[in-house]
Structure 1
Amino acid sequence: MSADPSVILHSDRPAAALAVLKETHPDLTVHACDSYAALPELIGRVAAEVVYSVRFDGTPRFPRQALVESPTVKWVSVGGSGTDHLGCWDPERLTVTNAAGVAAGMLAEYALGAMLSFSLDLRGFERRRQARQWGGGRVEPIEGKTVLIIGLGKTGTAVAGRARAMGMRTLGIRARPKAMDSLDEVHGPDALPTLLGRADFIVCCVPLLPSTRGLLGAAAFAAMKRSAVLIDISRGGVVDEAALLAALDGKQIKGAALDVFATEPLPGDHPVWSHENVAVTPHCAAVYDGWDIKSVRMFADNLKRYRGGAPLENVVSPERGY
């Protein structure tokens, strides 16, 4: 690391980010890049040492090789929390950090909103409104219901806090189980099959890793209550979409709220569009006004540490994904 590194801001809206770095690091030359295609050439031309990067044009086209195999890049600061789009990297040569927590509250509110939407049957009432039908439907409290949170990072912890405030029973799964505030029970991954059968709502917020790909498949859906609702705010690929569709078709579960998919944008002919008991959102649960500035300010703070030779915060392990 150096006190005067060559820095690239890789974002589809770099102007606001540049303003933050001009304010916090006025002596530093920062290069902006607003496309995937231009990043490899720019890294080579300016011998970039540090790259702040946002995945803004999908994963398949992301120029991961230019970042993880560059001979000059020593630190990649991911603007969001997920790092699966970088694939594998050598932590001895490259440090990767993320902005974990920047959207934890918003994601938790999305999960809570989805739980309330299903318990209040808002989708059913909307269908009746469109049909100008008075009556029918019923509401249920979420107080006293059980939520299982798979993944207890900053997002999962925020979900637990909001669920506890609503009077829900909170169960959680994490790789290294330990007692946590707002969690009634914390278990390891081996307890998943048993816990699924106890939950009224399942909130999935784990990173996409070889160990989590297809984590919720046919066996998982078979273990759920028929009244259960799945809320997926993790990454596309954690939920086996074919198994989910089969569970919906077979009425094995009540419904789902999905913000992430294996293929994004979601194709217009995808079967999930036809399910009335599924809420589909376009990977936007973490996107709110100001999230990008908050993320860049986290990067700016970390950049001060980097330039001063101090340890970085939010360093990601390629094996754990967090």
Structure 2
Amino acid sequence: MSPRPTVILHTDKPAGALAVLVETHPDLPVHPCESYAALPELIERVAAEVVYSIRFDGTPRYPRQALVESPTVKWVSIGGSGTDHLGRWDPTRVTVTNSAGVAAGMLAEYVLGAMLSFSLDLRGFERRQQARQWGGGRVEPIEGKTVLIIGLGKTGEAVAKRAQAMGMHTLGIRARPKPMPCVEEVHGPDALLPLIGRADFIVCCVPLLSSTRGLVGEAAFAAMKPSAVLIDISRGGVVEEAALSAALDAKRIKGAALDVFATEPLPPEHPLWGYDNVAITPHRAAVYDGWDIKSVRMFADNLKRYRNGEPLENVVSPERGY
């Protein structure tokens, strides 16, 4: 750690990010970088110590080696919450932080919107409207329904608060169970299958880890109510897509709202496109106007701590992934 580190802003929207750094840390040398390909050379050329990075062009080409194996980079600040695109890193060589919570409220609103869409049959009414068909359809309240939140970090907690405000029953799973005021029952991962059978809505909020890959698979779908709705805002790979398709084909669940997929962009030939009871969004549930500036401001606050030799916030463990 140095009091005047060289910083790289690795983002496809550097102007706003740069303005925040000029305002909050005007004395620092800051270098914008708008591509994956240019980052390794820039890190080496300027001997960057700190890199703020957003995964703006997918995972396959993401320059993770340049970040976590650089001899000069001491701190990588991820602009979102997920860090699975970094793979594993040595925490004795580089510290990784994330921006957990930057989109928690927006993601929770997405979940609430998905629950309301299914309970109000909005997709069915839209189809009838397009057919100029009067009548039909059925609405039902979400009040009194049960939501199971898999992952009770900042996003899961925000989902629970909104669900509770709507009069829903809240169940939750977290790696280290502890009482939470907005969750009626908090259990460990071993309780997934018993809990999932009680839920009307299942919300995935966990990071993608070896322990969560394929977490919602064939056994989970077999345990769900036929009226259950799955909402996935986690990472592609947590839900087994083949098992989901099989459950949809067999009408074992009511439907799903999906924002993340194992392969992104979702290929045009993928079977999930073809279901009337599946809502697909292109990994945009957390992308709202101003999220990037909010994230950079979180980074700027942490950068002040870094320069003062204080503990950083939102440090990610490579073992836990959060």
TM-score, length-scaled by structure 1: 1.00
User: 2: distance between equivalents of 1:93 and 1:70?
Assistant: 9
Kindly report which structure 2 residues correspond to 1:1-322, keeping only aligned pairs within 5 A, or say none: 1-322=1-322
Cα deviation for residue 135 of structure 1 reads 0.5
The Cα offsets for residues 156-187 of structure 1, whole Å up to 9 and x where unpaired, read as 00000000000000000001111101101000
What is the DSSP-based 3-state SS (H/G/I as helix, E as strand, rest coil) of the residue aligned with 2:311? coil
> Residue type matched to 1:239 in 2?
V
User: 1: distance between equivalents of 2:321 and 2:120?
Assistant: 35
User: 1: distance between equivalents of 2:4 and 2:179?
Assistant: 43
User: 1: distance between equivalents of 2:73 and 2:306?
Assistant: 13
User: 2: distance between equivalents of 1:36 and 1:92?
Assistant: 25
The Cα offsets for residues 258-296 of structure 1, whole Å up to 9 and x where unpaired, read as 000001011111100000000000000000000000000
**Structure 2: gaps spanning 5 or more residues:** none
What is the DSSP-based 3-state SS (H/G/I as helix, E as strand, rest coil) of the residue aligned with 1:139? coil
The Cα offsets for residues 55-99 of structure 1, whole Å up to 9 and x where unpaired, read as 000001100011111111000000000000000000111100000
What is the DSSP-based 3-state SS (H/G/I as helix, E as strand, rest coil) of the residue aligned with 1:170? strand
The Cα offsets for residues 228-265 of structure 1, whole Å up to 9 and x where unpaired, read as 00000000000000000010011010000000000101
User: 2: distance between equivalents of 1:82 and 1:231?
Assistant: 18
> Residue type matched to 2:278 in 1?
V
> Residue type matched to 1:22 in 2?
V
User: 1: distance between equivalents of 2:318 and 2:212?
Assistant: 14
Cα deviation for residue 313 of structure 1 reads 0.3
Size of the alignment, in residue pairs? 322
User: 1: distance between equivalents of 2:222 and 2:2?
Assistant: 54
> Residue type matched to 1:114 in 2?
A
Cα deviation for residue 47 of structure 1 reads 0.6
What is the DSSP-based 3-state SS (H/G/I as helix, E as strand, rest coil) of the residue aligned with 1:256? strand
User: 1: distance between equivalents of 2:183 and 2:208?
Assistant: 23
> Residue type matched to 2:133 in 1?
Q
What is the DSSP-based 3-state SS (H/G/I as helix, E as strand, rest coil) of the residue aligned with 2:211? coil
What is the DSSP-based 3-state SS (H/G/I as helix, E as strand, rest coil) of the residue aligned with 2:279? strand
What is the DSSP-based 3-state SS (H/G/I as helix, E as strand, rest coil) of the residue aligned with 1:26? coil
What is the DSSP-based 3-state SS (H/G/I as helix, E as strand, rest coil) of the residue aligned with 1:296? helix
Give the share of equivalent positions with the same residue, in percent: 84
User: 1: distance between equivalents of 2:177 and 2:79?
Assistant: 28
User: 2: distance between equivalents of 1:247 and 1:65?
Assistant: 38
Cα deviation for residue 144 of structure 1 reads 0.1
What is the DSSP-based 3-state SS (H/G/I as helix, E as strand, rest coil) of the residue aligned with 2:247? helix
> Residue type matched to 2:208 in 1?
L
Supply the RMSD in Å over aligned alpha carbons: 0.4
> Residue type matched to 2:215 in 1?
L
> Residue type matched to 1:89 in 2?
W
User: 2: distance between equivalents of 1:135 and 1:272?
Assistant: 28
What is the DSSP-based 3-state SS (H/G/I as helix, E as strand, rest coil) of the residue aligned with 2:99? coil
User: 1: distance between equivalents of 2:65 and 2:28?
Assistant: 26
User: 2: distance between equivalents of 1:37 and 1:93?
Assistant: 23
Cα deviation for residue 131 of structure 1 reads 0.7
User: 1: distance between equivalents of 2:205 and 2:213?
Assistant: 12
User: 1: distance between equivalents of 2:73 and 2:92?
Assistant: 12
User: 2: distance between equivalents of 1:191 and 1:34?
Assistant: 44
User: 2: distance between equivalents of 1:41 and 1:26?
Assistant: 24
